[in-house]
Structure 1
Amino acid sequence: MNNTMDNVNLRAVVLDILLENDKNPGHSNLITGQALSKFQYLPKSQRAFISRLAEGTIERRIEEDWLIDHVSSVSTKKMKPVIRNIMRMSAYQLKYMDSVPVSAVCNEAVKLARKRGFSSLTGFVNGVLRSLARDINNIQYPDKSDFIRYCMIRYSMPEYVVRILMDECGSCTEDVLKGFEKEHRLYIRCNTGLITPGGLKKKLTDEGVTVEDTCVPYAFAISGYDYLADLTSFEEGLFQVQDLSSILAGLAVNPNPGDYVVDVCAAPGGKCLHAAQRGSDITVEARDVSEAKVGLIRDNIERLHMDNVTAKVWDATVKDESLIGKADILICDVPCSGLGILGRKADIRYNASAEKTEALVELQRKILSVCSEYVRPGGYIIYSTCTINSAENEDNVDWFTANYPFETDSIEKDYPMLEKDSLAKGYVQLLPGIDNTDGFFIARLKKKDVE
């Protein structure tokens, strides 16, 4: 493929992303990002088309299969992978991309099928897509009386995830599902060690960026830029990209002067670097399991000019004897099922299962068990996840406080912008569609003084 935009078939790029995702599920963001990195010379609009069509097709595949199967004599499950993905991406365009003409959707699908060696199926592809284009707005979805089935198809969500959300969210389940579908904004946290929030806002505006305030005075939502890394304010380390829910988690970290803060699952460094800004004369140590992850932290430390943060490779499940009793505050943002960020990572929903949740809970409890020894009496663990699942959240807090010398500590004063009864109990569950954030759980656990 020559590096001229005239020779780049955007839908062929998307098809390759979809096929690669079939082979390596669970990494769609990475796969899409790697594909886009090869086409940085394309106009922003064309890169956005690739990204939207790839991620959208992956995210909505349950609904796409439902629509296709209503007009096709062959079910999507029985189609060859290339044809199935061509049909899915075409269904997504017909349903969600009104600016793309029906003729373009059908003709490009036929061309792709022929180019990939399926000339004998071009008539089938064309016929099914023409029928779908004609009937797409008349295809009936399951009735709400069958709520699980309705949510599965309407929101393209596997049954296991729908049942979890119903258990956790009750009557708010559909509001949460709608929240996942809202536009996913990019949030940044001002590096207050280098610039004031007002100064950053002005500098970004001068660079042509649209800046909007949030409930956190030094956090903003930004849009209207092309390459983030090309912004002078980014190069100068004046802000850190960090989702709003993650920034909110940092509000539970209240270091005193001289405190030693440790983040055991720190990559890419948002929470530990936020902590480093929240106190004077404090020391922060960031850890993660691999050199690659720690490399991301070090890159951010350098770019943000943070001289009170160090990073090292360490597996959080392995006890470090040298750290026992040393930490005043320990940040424990554990690996989780990610059910709170389904709107940002398209394929998490398809990789969730009861078995994986059980394994994650075991891992989370192992990390908490090890970390319990690192905190001095009177110190704190800030426990967080990006999921909506009490098995990984409240149940872990209950288990931990029942088996280790810790108690929950009220975070009510740290979150004046939230109205949640649980804050006084020391934890909070943020929900998409309700709190205008990702799904996120935050708890503060205080180590009891030695009797």
Structure 2
Amino acid sequence: MKNARELAIEILIDSQQGSYSNLALNKYLTQDIPAIDRAFVTELVYGVLKYRMKLDYIISQFSKIELSKMSWPVLNTLRIGIYQLMFLDKVPVFAAVNESVNLAKKMENPGAARFVNAVLRNIVRNKNVITYPDPVRHPQEFLSIYYSFPKWMVERWIKLYGFDFTRDLCEAFNQKPRVCIRINTLKTNKEKLKSTLESEGVKVIPGVMFEEAFYIEDIPQLKQLKSFHDGLFQPQDESSMIAARALGVRSGDMVLDVAAAPGGKTTHIAQIMANKGSITAWDIHPHRVELIKETCRRLGTTIVDAQVRDSRLKDKDMHNKFDKVLVDAPCSGLGVIRRKPDIKWSKKPEDISVLTTEQQRILEVCSQYVKLNGILVYSTCSIEPEENQQIVEAFLENNGNFVYDDMRPYLPEKLAMELKEPYGWIQLYPNIHKVDGFFVARLKRVGK
């Protein structure tokens, strides 16, 4: 059987070839691998993805061979070795070095092993004197390398938010996110679920914003828990819960949720509606529609009709049909980097402009399905104004029959106090709110 470090290297190589790291982890971390090894592999993979630029910067200071000339196994062996030396205090130095050397010998050749040994031992001797760009003279380079973010991303955020905010934002994105779950009140309640989870050896603490939220410590494999299979909870960040809350649904409503997969917000809406009324849930991909159906079955939600639909295409039969419409638009995902560090390296500046065109189209089309005096909620897991406030402002300029609607009654008090006129939208940041970056706007149709 391959050891944890070898598995981590194979997963990293898969991700470099285009696989999503979470899918690669699921593929390699089978049930026969001990829990402690699964946790270590996950730590190494996400750690290297998170700090890849910083790790490569360190390698370049101690290697005479350019990174571009190294094979992927050697480069990733160095990355996980340095990650252990720099970030994992519980891993002994000798273990980090020796295991990396053994891996290089096994995956490449004795020459590669000697090279890895020389680089890592040199870093061990000199890691306290590694220098980084000066934050005053070269702020973009410093933040990019020290916190390991693409330079274009850092430059963009400094322009939007300033240096100090961007530094705090990068630091927050590099923090390990806590696992949050939503209590499924269709099947249980807060006290019962707490007791059930504790009986399964899971420690929980209350949510920061919502009563239906728990944070889990001493993280197990959630999907292996009986309580998960029984549909007693749904993994979902608190920031994501705001979208369903902002919709302000009631029992008996007719609701449309576009781009709904995998069904977290859809089932939350059904939960708030006490499973009474109707929800139409769309996604463009058939396999993702099946995910919605599976989530609904597990959570006991029976009012959802999941359909394969393209929300960019107009449907006259849907006009003025729904009391509430949720547009959780496809976005850059730059608000959830702490959960998906791959995003740092897969996104490019031009992706945002491409996405805004699609977001505008979906919002424009789906707004036509809202009844008079009905509610339209637009949300993304992004912190980029072009995908958020600017999309909504442009929509309102072109659609005088919609206005901002006061969101404060639907938010926790702490968040409601943050809102400023017109009280119709909110932007969450991980460095401020300690949750995923998320945007939500609530609009009301007031005319034909």
Report the TM range for the smaller structure's normalisation.
Answer: over 0.9
Contact 2:244–2:268, Cα closer than 8 Å, also in 1: yes
| Matched residue type, 1:417 | K
| Matched residue type, 2:409 | K
Deviation by residue 1:109-146 (Cα, 9 ceiling, x = unmatched): 22222222333222221111110111112101222202
| Matched residue type, 1:9 | N
Deviation by residue 1:137-188 (Cα, 9 ceiling, x = unmatched): 2101222202211111111001111122223333422222221122311111
88-97 or 171-180: bigger deviation: 171-180
Taking the aligned partners of 1:143 and 1:420, their CA distance within structure 2 comes to: 35
Residue 417 of structure 1: aligned partner: 414
Residue 16 of structure 1: aligned partner: 10
| Matched residue type, 2:319 | I
| Matched residue type, 1:187 | C
Residue 270 of structure 2: aligned partner: 276
Taking the aligned partners of 2:219 and 2:147, their CA distance within structure 1 comes to: 30
Taking the aligned partners of 2:260 and 2:356, their CA distance within structure 1 comes to: 19
73-82 or 308-317: bigger deviation: 73-82
Structure 2, unpaired ranges of 5+: none
**SS across alignment from 1:156:** coil
Equivalence map 1:22-421=2 (5 Å): 22-24=16-18, 27-36=20-29, 38=30, 40-145=31-136, 146-170=138-162, 171-214=164-207, 215-280=209-274, 281-404=276-399, 405-415=401-411, 416-418=413-415, 419-421=417-419
Once the two structures are TM-superposed, the CA of residue 348 in structure 1 deviates from its matched residue by: 0.2
Contact 1:160–1:352, Cα closer than 8 Å, also in 2: no
Contact 2:247–2:376, Cα closer than 8 Å, also in 1: no
Taking the aligned partners of 1:268 and 1:123, their CA distance within structure 2 comes to: 47
Contact 2:150–2:344, Cα closer than 8 Å, also in 1: yes
Once the two structures are TM-superposed, the CA of residue 264 in structure 1 deviates from its matched residue by: 0.6
Contact 2:179–2:219, Cα closer than 8 Å, also in 1: no
280-289 or 440-449: bigger deviation: 280-289
Contact 1:236–1:303, Cα closer than 8 Å, also in 2: yes
Residue 432 of structure 2: aligned partner: 434
**SS across alignment from 2:359:** helix
Normalising by structure 2, we get a TM-score of 0.95
Once the two structures are TM-superposed, the CA of residue 92 in structure 1 deviates from its matched residue by: 0.9
**SS across alignment from 1:233:** helix
Deviation by residue 1:55-110 (Cα, 9 ceiling, x = unmatched): 11112110001111111112323322222111111111111112222222222222
Taking the aligned partners of 1:78 and 1:117, their CA distance within structure 2 comes to: 14
RMSD of aligned Cα (Å): 1.6
Contact 1:376–1:447, Cα closer than 8 Å, also in 2: yes
Taking the aligned partners of 1:86 and 1:359, their CA distance within structure 2 comes to: 36
Taking the aligned partners of 1:69 and 1:24, their CA distance within structure 2 comes to: 24
Taking the aligned partners of 2:397 and 2:217, their CA distance within structure 1 comes to: 45
Distance 1:253 1:226, change over 3 A: same
Taking the aligned partners of 2:421 and 2:218, their CA distance within structure 1 comes to: 36
Distance 1:336 1:422, change over 3 A: farther
Once the two structures are TM-superposed, the CA of residue 423 in structure 1 deviates from its matched residue by: 6.8
Identity of aligned residues (%): 37
Taking the aligned partners of 1:234 and 1:22, their CA distance within structure 2 comes to: 32
Taking the aligned partners of 2:16 and 2:255, their CA distance within structure 1 comes to: 41
Structure 1, unpaired ranges of 5+: 1-6
Once the two structures are TM-superposed, the CA of residue 294 in structure 1 deviates from its matched residue by: 0.8
Taking the aligned partners of 1:335 and 1:79, their CA distance within structure 2 comes to: 36
**SS across alignment from 2:182:** strand
Contact 1:422–1:428, Cα closer than 8 Å, also in 2: no
Deviation by residue 1:195-243 (Cα, 9 ceiling, x = unmatched): 2222222222222211111120111111235332232322221111111
**SS across alignment from 1:391:** helix
Contact 2:377–2:443, Cα closer than 8 Å, also in 1: yes
Contact 1:165–1:388, Cα closer than 8 Å, also in 2: no
Contact 2:419–2:425, Cα closer than 8 Å, also in 1: no
**SS across alignment from 1:316:** coil
Distance 1:392 1:31, change over 3 A: same
Once the two structures are TM-superposed, the CA of residue 251 in structure 1 deviates from its matched residue by: 1.5
| Matched residue type, 1:74 | I
Taking the aligned partners of 1:188 and 1:111, their CA distance within structure 2 comes to: 40
